[in-house]
Amino acid sequence: MTGRASYACDPDKSRGRQYSEPDGATRGPRNIFQRDRDRIVHSIAFRRLRHKTQVFVSPDGDHYRVRLTHSLEVAQIGRTIARALGLDEDLTEALCLAHDIGHPPFGHAGEDALEEAMEAHGGFDHNAQTLRTLTRLESPYPLWPGLNLSWELLEGLAKHNGPVFAPNWALQEIDEAFPLALTHHASLEAQVAAISDDIAYDNHDIDDGIRAGLLTLDQLLSLPFVEERWNRIAATYPGAPRETLLRELIRQQIGVMVNDVIETTRARIAALGIQTADDVRAAGQTIGGFSAELGEKERTLKAFMYANLYHHPEQLEAAEKARIIVADLFSAYERDASLLPEEWQGNLPREEPHRSRHIADFLAGMTDRFATNCHNAIFGESS
């Protein structure tokens, strides 16, 4: 498909930004979604993703993925699907690039620690923290807080996993300031970004897991649909190195998933009579995604990855050490605010829950290595 589909988000019909910008603020011939993408790429929060955990905590090897490389891979997949469906590629790319910005150091281990530390103060959620970072914490402009991103981008980040009927405090605060219609579905661009995230980590985590020696190919081939594809590849390229065949397997699996999403989404658009972006939001169901058959296989693959990689004993041990680092740091800053950098001390609220939320903001922005260095400085390297 070429050209913009009628159900795509149109930058010329955007609902705009929370804060109006002077006409002279436009630098270069870019539309609103293109400027959103560029603001994300140029942000400090985006750059920090290069030192945040994807699967492995502070990986030693240069070839392992981190949050930054994962986000780039998600964006590549998202743009491919968006182009085929006639969606807005720039908005899709921006959503893909921004979706993990709220992750604290050490991935889900760090998030678990912050969730526990913030239990009495409304909790912590990396999705809401992404929006908090982009609308409150990352503030490079003199006239408004945050990056002042478009309604469509913020809506997509808030609802890329579906409507939100019980927003936590962070998301509720943002929605009250700039209502995002949380109980409706998001745009197809946001739905494509969400499924692209699944496609990327479903397959690339296999690559990293085998590279790290925590997964074996034999384990992977216990899944019949993977074994079937592997056998076809091995028969097509006899004598090729095992490593080369494995990379071909990953590429083909991504291709199969991408094609399935494109075909399934087109069929749902036709069946539901979707004509506009508002039709997508009012459809009452997710439109962009896998077919029922491939969706079942993908869930089986996810279960396999949890059992064999994410919950591998070595991974659980590393995650527990990481959780302790974040928990220790929160307790230390809570007890002694002078341990915070000067700029964070100067803005520290006196009253709860705002005081703890300020500390959590500081911790959530840390990279793995910065958190480790801060912990060593306070508790000593032997800890």
Task: Read off the amino acid at residue 241.
Answer: P
CB burial of residue 157 (10 Å; 0-12, 13-18, 19+): buried
Spatial separation of the C-alpha atoms in residues 147 and 143, rounded to whole Å: 11
28 vs 35, 44, 140, 229, CA distance in Å? 9, 22, 19, 47
Per DSSP, the three-state class of 17 is strand
Per DSSP, the three-state class of 126 is helix
- Look up the pTM and report it: 0.95
Tokens of 211: 């590279």
Judge if the upstream peptide bond of residue 29 is cis by omega within 30 degrees of 0.
no
Task: Read off the amino acid at residue 316.
Answer: L
Spatial separation of the C-alpha atoms in residues 363 and 381, rounded to whole Å: 19
What value, to the nearest 5°, has the Cα angle with vertex 141 and ends 333 and 89?
100
Tokens of 228: 């079937």
Q: How many CB atoms lie within 10 A of CB 105?
A: 31
Based on C-alpha coordinates, what's the Rg of the chain? 22
What is the Cα 1 distance to its own chain's centre? 27
Question: In a structure prediction context, what are the per-residue pLDDT tens digits for the chain, which is 383 residues long?
Answer: 458 999 999 999 999 999 998 866 557 789 999 999 999 999 999 999 999 988 876 656 677 789 999 999 999 999 999 999 999 999 999 999 999 999 999 999 999 999 999 999 999 999 999 999 999 999 999 999 999 999 999 999 999 889 999 999 999 999 999 999 999 999 999 999 999 999 999 999 998 899 889 999 999 999 999 999 999 999 999 999 999 999 999 999 999 999 999 999 999 999 999 999 999 999 999 999 999 999 999 999 999 999 999 999 999 999 999 999 999 999 999 999 999 999 999 999 999 999 999 999 999 999 999 999 999 999 998 77
